[in-house]
């Protein structure tokens, strides 16, 4: 019998805190409650009969265990709040049996401690946030870098073992805090060396230099021409879609050629890639189409007097429709700004309509192919093979994950698909993330699982557990994967 006046030692992570009665350990995940070491947060169990978001009820309030092996409603025991075992050779905190269509299944549940982890952040904006490889900082500390941009989005790679463990102590602590906040869908302010300040919050629009981003671009400048050339044909003589990457020019573009758009003799700045497609027309920035342009005419070198004509009409627009202008050439072939005709205003509106809302996406990425496998099986490589052979399904808090091909169990999960506050941390520093491995009982025995630890979900103590409704966009974690699904 433990003495409540004594400190007790938490052995759930390498920090090995001594915790006084009524206090929590360094990570706030474990506490000393009258001499008993307890996991502080509720253990989340998904209940398919509850609506997503609304249904949070104490586990025991709906039904008490009747002694059967199957609970009254289809339920999935997640690892959120389940706790961690340390050292890793001990069996995972919960190894739960379920019967599914007459087949005995097992779900191995643990809160994994990930030193090798980070987030990939996709920020839907054309605005230049920073150069590739530029350092990304939180609270002044380096926490990651700008990585390769994607179509309509700027990308950040944050965290990782180097920032967590190789820098100064403060760098590791702030990196961990930043990852934790991003994974738990809290807003985080990031500054990029030589670039922008951006507030990132999973599932919300980015705020770039204090301005909320509204729209993701419809496409690059060339793609925009390809999409809408027919709608512009006959209403204007020339169209330039300004884009930091590929600026499109209608009369030279293949779309214009096919439609029979007359040559306008326009001469563009920048580097011509293929007809009607120009690279590097300006520097990157927060102006027109992700360039630094405030005056779009700066990208036009001149008009060839042999081909251009006075009265030629020119429509210039950015890839989001945020910027637009209309010009007519005067007798000296100089563009003179004119009010936007209604047909071109409609064109701007059509571009805007086709832009998707700008969002931040945060994918948690971690390596689960390490020591936590020992909590699942005595022969860890068999778990890796079982995952690769799709005999074992991996989920995070019941959410589907993508498993990278190749060695290890390197997973990615969209943090918005997990229940709220699913992530934690330990001050080693590392992120604590829920992870569940589900497979048949027979396969579990074959891979050397801790069979003696298997128990039915209904036998779990209802204390400190909560039933929540699953995210309805997620596949039910116990349902068989659709045929041909490589990994979820």
- Interacting residues toward ligand SF4 by CB under 6 A: 10, 12-13, 15-17, 25-27, 29-30, 426-427
CB of 16 to ligand SF4, least distance (A): 5
Report the run of H or E that residue 353 belongs to, with start and end.
helix 342-353
| Of residues 34 and 73, the one with the C-beta less far from ligand SF4 | 34
User: Could you give the angle at which helices 342-353 and 221-232 cross, rounded to 10 degrees?
Assistant: 130
Residues 6+ apart with CB under 8 A from 29: 12, 39, 40, 41, 83, 424, 426, 432
| Of residues 31 and 360, the one with the C-beta less far from ligand SF4 | 31
- Name the token pair of 318: 């950015």
- For strands 30-33 and 430-440, give the pairing: unpaired
| Of residues 8 and 358, the one with the C-beta less far from ligand SF4 | 8
Check if the beta carbon of residue 291 is closer than 8 Å to that of residue 242.
yes
CB of 413 to ligand SF4, least distance (A): 22
CB of 30 to ligand SF4, least distance (A): 4
| Of residues 370 and 427, the one with the C-beta less far from ligand SF4 | 427
- For strands 335-338 and 56-58, give the pairing: unpaired
Backbone angles phi, psi at 172, to 5 degrees: -65, -40
CB of 2 to ligand SF4, least distance (A): 16
Distance CA 369, CA 410 (A): 7
CB of 3 to ligand SF4, least distance (A): 19
Among residues 315, 337, 314, 320, the alpha carbon closest in space to that of 286 is found at 320
| Of residues 286 and 374, the one with the C-beta less far from ligand SF4 | 374
| Of residues 25 and 369, the one with the C-beta less far from ligand SF4 | 25
| Of residues 4 and 427, the one with the C-beta less far from ligand SF4 | 427
Residues 6+ apart with CB under 8 A from 46: 75, 76, 78, 398, 419, 467, 468, 469, 470, 477
Local structure of residue 358 (DSSP, 8 states)? P
CB of 371 to ligand SF4, least distance (A): 15
Report the run of H or E that residue 197 belongs to, with start and end.
strand 197-200
CB of 85 to ligand SF4, least distance (A): 11
Check if the beta carbon of residue 299 is closer than 8 Å to that of residue 270.
yes
CB of 180 to ligand SF4, least distance (A): 13
| Of residues 427 and 456, the one with the C-beta less far from ligand SF4 | 427
Residues 6+ apart with CB under 8 A from 374: 88, 89, 380
The residue number with the shortest CB distance to ligand SF4 is 25
Q: How many CB atoms lie within 10 A of CB 306?
A: 7
CB of 135 to ligand SF4, least distance (A): 29
| Of residues 16 and 34, the one with the C-beta less far from ligand SF4 | 16
């Amino acid at each position: 019998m433990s003495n409540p006046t004594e400190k007790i030692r938490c052995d759930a992570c390498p920090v090995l805190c001594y915790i006084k009665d009524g206090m929590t350990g360094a990570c706030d995940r474990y506490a000393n409650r009258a001499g008993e070491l307890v996991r502080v947060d509720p253990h989340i169990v998904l209940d398919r009969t509850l609506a997503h978001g609304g249904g949070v009820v104490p586990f025991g309030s709906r039904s008490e265990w009747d002694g059967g092996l199957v609970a009254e409603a289809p339920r999935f025991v997640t690892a959120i709040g389940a706790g961690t075992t340390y050292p890793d050779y001990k069996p995972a905190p919960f190894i739960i049996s379920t019967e599914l269509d007459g087949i005995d299944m097992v779900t191995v549940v643990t809160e994994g401690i990930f030193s090798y982890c980070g987030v990939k952040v996709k920020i839907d904006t054309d605005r230049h946030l920073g150069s590739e490889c530029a350092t990304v900082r939180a609270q002044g500390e380096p926490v990651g870098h700008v990585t390769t941009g994607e179509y309509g989005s700027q990308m950040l790679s944050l965290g990782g073992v180097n920032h967590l463990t190789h820098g100064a102590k403060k760098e590791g602590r702030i990196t961990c805090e930043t990852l934790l906040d991003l994974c738990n869908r809290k807003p985080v302010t990031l500054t990029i060396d030589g670039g922008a300040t951006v507030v990132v919050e999973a599932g919300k629009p980015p705020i770039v230099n204090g301005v909320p981003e509204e729209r993701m671009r419809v496409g690059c400048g060339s793609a925009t021409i390809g999409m809408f050339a027919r709608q512009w044909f006959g209403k204007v003589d020339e169209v330039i879609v300004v884009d930091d990457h590929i600026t499109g020019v209608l009369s030279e573009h293949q779309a214009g050629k096919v439609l029979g758009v007359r040559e306008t003799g326009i001469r563009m700045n920048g580097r011509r890639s293929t007809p009607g497609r120009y690279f590097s027309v300006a520097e990157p920035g927060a102006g027109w189409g992700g360039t630094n342009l405030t005056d779009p005419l700066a990208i036009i070198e001149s008009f060839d007097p042999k081909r251009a004509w006075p009265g030629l009409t020119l429509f210039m627009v950015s890839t989001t429709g945020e910027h637009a202008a209309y010009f007519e050439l005067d007798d000296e072939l100089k563009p003179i700004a004119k009010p936007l005709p209604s047909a071109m205003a409609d064109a701007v509106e059509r571009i805007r309509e086709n832009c998707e809302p700008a969002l931040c996406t945060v994918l948690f990425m971690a390596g689960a192919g390490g020591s936590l496998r020992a909590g699942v099986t005595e022969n860890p490589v068999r778990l890796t093979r079982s995952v690769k052979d799709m005999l074992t399904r991996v989920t995070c808090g019941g959410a589907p994950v993508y498993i990278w091909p190749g060695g290890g169990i390197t997973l990615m999960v969209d943090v918005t698909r997990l229940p709220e506050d699913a992530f934690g941390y330990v001050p080693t520093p590392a992120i604590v993330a829920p992870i569940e491995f589900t497979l048949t009982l027979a396969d579990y025995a074959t891979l050397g699982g801790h069979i003696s630890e298997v128990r039915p979900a209904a036998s779990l103590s209802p204390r400190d557990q909560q039933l929540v409704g699953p995210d309805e966009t997620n596949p039910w974690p116990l349902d068989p994967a659709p045929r041909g699904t490589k990994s979820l």
